[in-house]
Amino acid sequence: MDHFVITGARVFDGEDSLGVVDVEVTGGRIVSVGGRPEGAELIDGAGATLLPGLVDSHTHTDEEALRQALTFGVTTELDMLSIPDRMIPLRRLVAESSELADVRSPSVGLTHPDGHPHQLRKGEGDPPWPVATRADEVPAFVEGRIAEGADYIKVLVEDGHVFGDSLPTLDPGLVAATVREAHARDRMVLAHTMTVASATQAVDAGVDCLTHLFFDRPHTDELVEKIAAAGVFVIPTLTVIASITGEPAGEQLAADPRVRAKMTPVWLDSLAGAFGASPRESFGFALDSLAALRAAGVDLLAGTDAAHLGAPGMAHGASLHGELRLLVEGGFTPSEALRATTSVPARRFGLDDRGRIAPGLRADLTLVDGDPTVAIEDTLSVRRVWRGGTEASLTPAASGA
- Average model confidence (pLDDT) across the chain: 96
Q: pLDDT tens, 315-345? A: 999 999 999 999 999 999 999 999 999 999 9
For 168-180, what is each residue's pLDDT tens digit?
A: 999 999 999 999 9
What is the predicted pLDDT for the residue at 139?
Answer: 98
pLDDT at 121: 80
Instruction: Please determine, for residue 364, whether its predicted confidence score (pLDDT) is greater than 50.
Output: yes
Q: What is the pLDDT of residues 62-111, one digit of tens each?
A: 999 999 999 999 999 999 999 999 999 999 999 999 999 999 999 999 99
Whether 226 has a pLDDT exceeding 60, the answer reads yes
pLDDT value, residue 1: 75
233 forms beta bridges with 209
Check whether 398 has a pLDDT greater than 60. no
The answer, yes or no, to whether residue 397 has pLDDT greater than 90, is no
Segment 141-166 shows an average pLDDT of: 96
Domains of the chain: 53-354 (3.20.20.140)
Q: What one-letter code names the amino acid at 276?
A: G
Q: pLDDT class for 225, splitting at 50, 70, 90?
A: very high
State the SS3 of the chain.
Answer: CCEEEEECCEEECCCCEEEECCEEEECCEEEEECCCCCCCEEEECCCEEEEECEEEEEECCCHHHHHHHHHCCEEEEEECCCCHHHHHHHHHHHHHCCCCCEEECCCCCECCCCCCCHHHCCCCCCCCCCCCCCHHHHHHHHHHHHHCCCCCEEEECCCCHHHCCCCCCCCHHHHHHHHHHHHHCCCCEEEECCCHHHHHHHHHHCCCEECCCCCCCCCCHHHHHHHHHHCCEECCCHHHHHHHCCCCHHHHHHCCHHHHCCCCHHHHHHHCCCCCCCCCHHHHHHHHHHHHHHHCCCCECCCCCECCCCCCCCCCCHHHHHHHHHHHHCCCCHHHHHHHCCHHHHHHCCCCCCCCCCCCCECCEEEEECCCCCCHHHHHCEEEEEECCEECCCCCCCCCC
- pLDDT at residue 401 tops 50: no
**Which pTM value belongs to this model?**
0.97
pLDDT tens digits for range 296-314: 999 999 999 999 988 999 9
Give the separation between CA 121 and CA 167, rounded to whole angstroms. Answer: 14
Model pLDDT for residues 227-260, shown as the tens digit of each residue: 999 999 999 999 999 999 999 999 999 999 999 9
- Confidence (pLDDT) at 45: 98
Q: State residue 212's pLDDT score.
A: 98
- How far does CA 52 lie from the centroid of its chain? 15
